[in-house]
Structure 1
Amino acid sequence: MLPEPGTDRGAGALARFRAGFHQCLKARSDALFELADAMLCSSGPVVSLPGLSLSGVFARGHGALYDALAAGRIDTDRLREVLAAQPIRRLWGRIVLAVDATGWLRPDANCAPGRLYCHVTGHGRGQDQMVPGWTYSFVAALEPGATSWTQILDAQRIGQDDDPAETTATQLREVVEGLIAAGQHRSGDPAITIVTDSGYDLPRLAWQLRDLPVIVVGRLRSDRVLYGRPGAYPGQGRPPKHGRLFRMADPDTWGEAETTSGADTDRYGRLDARAWGNMHSRLTHRAAWIGHDGALPVIDGTLIRLETERLPHTGRPIPLWLWTSQQGLDPGLLDTIWSAWLRRFDIEHTFRFLKQTLGWTVPQVRDPESADRWTWLTVAAFTQLRLARSLAADLRLPWEAPAAPGRLTPARVRRDFPNLHQALPRLTSAPKPSKPGPGRPAGQGNRRKAPICDPGKKAKREKTMREREQRLTSAKG
């Protein structure tokens, strides 16, 4: 039996989270809660949505399952507060958040609204594709060491009328403010580090979050051009905004690095880092900054070049370019920043587990709101696995190697979760007796066919000042 809540951190945290999660379910609460349990207690990966109704922990029929996804209601704001209140592991004394987007591919769902074109990486050069589907942005807290565990704090679907950069900035702001409100970050603590991949506009993200205690770190393409601070004002003409030119592809323009550090690693061999301070991108009144009033800001940061002796599976070194909004790096802080960015890849393991094991993209639902409910159920299920990993036994298969203490993977924790579930308090009520409805009369076709919904962006954003002036002129006229 599990100890009473509060006597053990793992068992108490798991029981408290389940109670808080159940309170966040406002309609069809019992069916939604048991659906999340069925996701955790099923043997093997989730490959069928109605198949979850056959699980022993789901006491209702498959009709109640679909009704819960279609008509259920989840208080997502309260659920975010519950997630933010969970214990968060830190990297070198600071919270590290990874933000990334992944697609729920629905190429054949012509009647499903809200689909965008999701980027799918193919095997081989030039094999990438754009497949219609729903795009979700996840924010997760990372953990130290080589691990496949993350702590998901938020998940939002990017709509056809949304600006992905604005949605990401708003999402990160809500997550950071939620962590501060939950007491996870206090005044005087190290700044929260946000790590991203190369698909994000780092200067714009740093500018939108400039009033929060955060550091933005992300990867840049190796063909980018940055600028340093201008020199002394000569006294004639307009004062310059940009200084020396820094071409990442041209070592002759780099100059002497302000900070350097190095370390010997088992995985990458010799790893050297060099940093140049006061580096910024040249902004223009186009695209993302077209609606900015007044002069465009100069967003200074630190440019980092990371060189490794070798890379796993390839053997050849490939340098990485990082940009961070943090200025004045000493060797210790420099190592902390690039080490935190390397942990960003843990969120890719989380995506794989959500899709391949918990069946996040398995349901063939048409309504995007139903997809949002299923997404939050998946997040709640993964959080329960994270809280149960100190309680689960290593039920390994005969051909699997034993796991070190405290090193169980999410899949192995899920394997023992049915045994843990038997000792947890029952929070749902017994199902009421019912019988299926009459359904559609025999021989009568569907008279309310769903409309065809085209994928892709709906809102058009001006790309030049002329387009913006024409729109404003037509609006006034």
Structure 2
Amino acid sequence: MPHPLGVPSSAPDQALRALAEFRTAVYRCFGRWADTLFELVDALAGGGRVGSVAELTFEPVLRRGHGSVYQALEHGQVHPAAAGTLLAGQVRPGRVLLLGVDSSKFPRPDTRYVPDIGMQYAAERDHTGGSPAVPGWSMQWACQVGLDTGPGAASPATGGAGGVGRGSWGLPVDVRRIGTADNANEVTAAQITDVTTRLHAAGTATAGVPLVFLLDARYCPIYLTQHRPDSAQLLVRLRSDRVFFARPPAKRPGTPGRARKHGPRFALDEPDTWPAPDAEHTTTTSAGAGAGGTVRTRAWHHYHPEPRQRRKWTGTDIIEGTLIRQDHTTPAGRTQVWWLWWAGPPGSFDLPMLAEAYQHRYTIEHVFRFAKQDLGWTRHTPLDPDQAERWTWLVALALAQLHLARPLAADRRLPWEQPCHPDRLSPRRVRRVFRHTVAALPTPARAPKPARPGPGRPKGSTNKNPRTRQPVIKKGRPANTGHPKGHNPNATTKPKT
């Protein structure tokens, strides 16, 4: 029989105490408008599907009106360093730490008065025949993935119980915006360095525990390898048309000319150029829709791309890494191929662990979907990129609260839903009972002060401070201002008519 508050009778007091301490620490991460911001986090974590920010005022935990909510989002203060340190301390330790890094668009297509807007990739428009991009901001998340350890969730290569599992849970660790003037690889390298430093400071990342960052093919593996922290490992997906080179043979004494820089050619889409692998691992899938399939993983060490002046990485030195090819074959005979680039500390290469690691990068896509569909991440329409980043931090803190409340939540399924083991509850099911789970916990937010609403703008008056029209920045064009050709507002001479 479930507890009337949605808390199992055997819930440990330690989990409830950890949730209460986390809520107090969240309040300390706020500056101005701290009370409203904290209640916004509570309303996000325990309410229904968010259609707009104003709808959050119907939640009992949010005792302020919609005017205070919008004032807090516009003038409030969230300390990113304090929030990042707090989230890093919540990372669950294990035999391996997997962190997915990926960016998602914060669309703002219906306005031209928002600054620093760029064209962001939109996958939903990729096959419609139109342009697969929309105006908006790019928000990059770093999340711990592989958090599901319930029945049937552990991966065989990571050690059974205590290993990583596949599921929809992801714990946000850091959030930052990639501006139109920023380089995505530079921002990512700085984010990986900051997250690694915070994990070591929190004692989560210890010696002997692999710390693996999982990234998609949009990132430059060479640049990230150059700026990789000493204790971190990188596993980056590669395009299948890339070409690499092995180490050159040693120069014979007395041979004229300089020594060779490149060895035999290795083209990812030309099997004739592949030598025998340096390591190989084969496993059989035992869970999920592809149970009974095989995964063959091969690795080739000490390969590098050809350095050229047009490359985006620093300098033109030879940067070596390990090439990994994974062939996922289903029982029906369908094969999916992944090419990966690995770089890490010497002696830390573990092919069985890496063979199971990259599949968990796709968990961050579940995080984005849950944040957008349930938490209303992109339903808010801020007029400033700082407000968008502030709102993103609130969504990340709300998701972290749900993760901490996971051991305390009971399964309150809808009539058409299947029963679920308590260790396998999805974020949506935990959010369904979060309000009852924290009902007995005190709130650090102060009670609102009663006040009369302001007079507002006098009737019949007009707005005397119109907003400046902002361009949509499109990267890849020299001296681009976002304006049509011949109408550059920064031009010193007028265009010909």
Contact 1:197 1:219 in 2 (8 A): yes
Letter in 2 for 1:57: V
Residue in 2 that maps onto 1:337: 354
Specify the alignment match of 2:86 in structure 1: 82
The residue number in structure 2 matching 1:474 is none
Q: Is the counterpart of residue 424 in structure 1 residue 444 in structure 2?
A: no
Structure 2 distance, partners of 1:240, 1:379, is: 50
Q: 1:321 aligns with which of 335, 339, 346?
A: 339
Distance apart, 1:142 and its partner CA: 1.4
In structure 1, what is the equivalent of residue 386 of structure 2? Answer: 369
User: How far apart, CA to CA, are the structure 1 residues paired with 2:180 and 2:346?
Assistant: 40
Cα distance between partner residues in 1 of 2:22 and 2:436: 18
Moved over 3 A (4+): 122-128, 326-330, 457-462
| 2:152 corresponds to 1:152 | no
Q: Secondary structure in 2 aligned to 1:273?
A: strand
Aligned position for 1:467:
none
Query: CA RMSD, aligned part only?
Result: 2.3
- Alignment check: 8 A CA contact 1:46 1:362 kept: yes
- Give the partner amino acid of 2:231: P
More divergent stretch after superposition (317-326 vs 129-138): 317-326
**What is the DSSP-based 3-state SS (H/G/I as helix, E as strand, rest coil) of the residue aligned with 2:430?**
helix
Report matched runs for 1:16-415 at 5 Å.
16-42=21-47, 44-90=48-94, 93-122=95-124, 124=127, 129-143=132-146, 144-186=164-206, 188-209=207-228, 211-234=229-252, 235-266=255-286, 267=290, 269-289=293-313, 292=315, 296-310=316-330, 316-326=334-344, 333-415=350-432
Query: How many angstroms apart in 2 are the aligned matches of 1:329 and 1:418?
Result: 47
> What's the TM-score, normalizing by structure 1?
0.89
Tell me by how many angstroms 1:426 deviates: 2.1
Unaligned runs of 5+ in 1: 463-477
TM-score w.r.t. the length of structure 2 is: 0.86
Contact 1:10 1:391 in 2 (8 A): yes
Tell me: CA distance 1:391–1:420, structure 2 relative to 1, closer, same or farther (3 Å). same
Aligned residues: 448
- Aligned-residue offset at 1:457: 5.3
Percent identity over the alignment is: 37
Assess if the C-alpha contact under 8 Å between 1:277 and 1:327 holds in 2: no
- Look up the equivalent residue of 1:22 and give its one-letter code: Y
How many angstroms apart in 1 are the aligned matches of 2:97 and 2:177? Answer: 24
In structure 2, relative to structure 1, the CA distance for the partners of 1:140 and 1:461 (3 Å cut) is farther
1-structure distance, mates of 2:478, 2:21:
45
Q: Contact 2:108/2:137 (CA < 8 Å) preserved in 1? A: yes
Task: Please give the per-residue CA displacement for 1:184-228, whole angstroms capped at 9, x wherever unaligned.
Answer: 123x3233111111111011101111x421111111111111100
Report the AA paired with residue 108 of structure 2. Answer: R
Q: What is the alpha-carbon distance in structure 2 between the residues aligned to residue 233 and residue 326 of structure 1?
A: 28
Aligned to 1:26, the other structure's residue is in SS state coil
In the TM superposition, residue 326 of structure 1 has moved relative to its aligned partner by: 4.0
Change (3 A) 1:364 1:207: same
Q: Distance in 1 between matches of 2:209 and 2:59?
A: 45
Counterpart of 2:391, as a letter, is W
CA distance, structure 2, for counterparts of residue 197 and residue 86 of structure 1? 25
Give, as a single letter, the amino acid of the residue that structure 1 aligns with 2:233.
Answer: I
Structure 2 unaligned residues grouped into runs of 5+: 147-163, 480-497
Deviation at 1:104, TM superposition (A): 0.6
Q: Deviations over 1:140-183 (max 9, x none)?
A: 11121121111110000111221111011011111100111111
Conservation of the 8 A alpha-carbon contact between 2:91 and 2:144: no
Matched-pair contact (CA < 8 Å) for 2:91–2:171: no
Give the letter aligned to residue 139 of structure 2. Y
**CA 1:207/1:260 → structure 2, altered by over 3 Å: closer, same or farther?**
same
Tell me the SS of whatever aligns to 1:441.
Answer: coil
Aligned to 2:492: none
Contact (CA 8 Å) 1:120, 1:131: kept in 2 or not?
Answer: yes
Paired residue type of 1:80: G
Q: Deviations over 1:238-284 (max 9, x none)?
A: 21111110111111110211111101113260111111111111121
Pick from 10, 13, 29 the counterpart of residue 8 of structure 1.
Answer: 13
C-alpha displacement of 1:57? 0.9
Q: Deviation of residue 438 (structure 1)?
A: 1.5
- The answer to which of 6-15 and 69-78 deviates more is 6-15
Question: Is the alpha carbon distance of 1:136 and 1:446 closer, same or farther for their aligned partners in structure 2, counting shifts above 3 Å?
Answer: same
297-306 vs 394-403, greater mean Cα deviation:
297-306
Q: 1:212 to 1:356 in 2, by over 3 A?
A: same
Any conservation in 2 of the 1:110–1:452 contact (CA below 8 Å)?
Answer: yes
Q: C-alpha distance in 1, partners of 2:239/2:33?
A: 47
